[in-house]
Structure 1
């Protein structure tokens, strides 16, 4: 049976009434001959007026029938119940014996995200690990383990970490390091390592019935690490701006246009999960040297604030916004955004935008359509023939032969 069992019972009294029931579990052999004694015999009877109850039974014995490593635990138990009548008399105890089984919980490391495909994970002096657990036969809908345990074993410099079997590394090579127990709510660790040494790191889950995760798989619940002072890594920096969308750094310089008098505000999000890093802070500045963020540099200073201030320009010109993200190991990622501030002159009459693609098979060419539209505008008094007052923007090229559309820029319309 499963380790959580519902047991039902009933009883009757031929010459009286049953006042209540008593139940107990796993009575020691030396007390079995006193199960039917009414007086206190040292057996831990529990009184109840119910006819059913659910119980959790311990399963601390490894079930080797499924082979090794053990992924199922078991426990042999006996449940006893007896009736007590209104005069204090007790019935002979009835019992049921059974074997409770339990599938062991599982742990999966989610940070660093590169762990799932790495035979050897090279990390820096500081290292962040995050995991999640699942107890597949836990009756609770959350299916969470009861708690977790982890261990970290520093290996000699002469120990080669490449191609190691995770099961052997944990069970044999790290056997002399005790497991450290943490609560089910603790699913991350921040570790400081001595660089220049390889390590074995393992995390396992334990469920409420005593079932312990015993199968260790590299990249799932076990990591083979090599700590190097040069493996600092740099975080990914994702920058969002409401009107322009999202950009990712490291990456090329981003450039876009904005109107004079308008404002922009950037949101920064750092992600160092791929190498087990932890983002420590953000920094930004306008028209600053990207390589100098010290005092007097014009940068706002490192903080956990992920948002810039409102950035506004009243005059046309070109400006740069430098955004930075730093992890606890000192790795810094820099993003540069070039802003071209455009002034609206309103000194031309009309821009004709051809953003419609007409196939030749429709019997009416794009040039014919444009010519007819211009004739109507000319008849309405628009200065179509004066280049200083009238312009045309062809989204798909002059003859609609361009595959991808050309985006209309702010500078294309600022004169109209």
Structure 2
């Protein structure tokens, strides 16, 4: 009888993809479901990018490329890093991969030996622990509470480090919290990493989606030491509404990038050629659409945040970036007769026809994640349905 490899036996399926699939299944049955689960912009890819992709195909640019990405795309990424962060990287310090998720996967595969530890703050993006485990590593969790604005402290990091620690993941702005580390907070964390001589994996995929007076800082900007021990992970998925094109990149130490490129040559051969030409235009072309999307997300946040705050039993922090709210709904779940937040979220989908992501998938079991990457009209309807659901079932 077929026996699967041990490495996949403990994998947890992606909560976000599972909820989205269930919501889509109900929609196909004619149910009026409002989905607040998917982590992607609701805009089409900007027209200039679509045009560039079409031109590349018409010009016959449909063959293999170098495993680590087209030189022209690496140049566009170099220019973007210099323009936005003032950071200088050589082409041999950049890998282009099949989306930021696969770039992360490749990173952990070349970085980790059996039982090496990677520190992961809670709440975390669902794939971090699974990717670490697939590489033979051990996720070590630090809980960042709402009282800390869901950000870890230098003391917490210092206490979590052992002689097996290889890296720490910093996701700013964060999925699922939308929180952003300040320069001072990053400097303090970088100093701990310098003392312990560990790598910093800086996931900056939501970098362009920042609100109010907040500012995105890459930890690699802070000092030469911080840059030398940081691997930046980014891509065009969120910033340019190109989730399906699957283009992400890593920027960091050339030896690490070489190992990742060698592995990619045996796994993907190269990122999709047409997508790479589209990404060149995304970085080199006009950025008006990026700002238009950012403004739209910010206006949606302004509109729905106070409404979510008003729902009984919901406690929520105002995010500084990304397009998620992460309310603590443990009181609402208890007062409406549910034994867990997961059951509460399931009932929201089945009864109120609103799909949300249970926070258990992010290690934050008292929360749910609401994505506001959908129209304001649907967002307002969804929040009203959730409010009515809570009021209907509330028991004093």
* Larger proportion of strand: 1
Specify which structure has the bigger relative contact order, considering alpha-carbon pairs within 8 angstroms and separated by 6 or more residues.
Answer: 2
After TM superposition, the score normalised by the length of structure 2 is 0.20
After TM superposition, the score normalised by the length of structure 1 is 0.19
* Larger proportion of helix: 2
Rg (Cα) greater in structure: 1
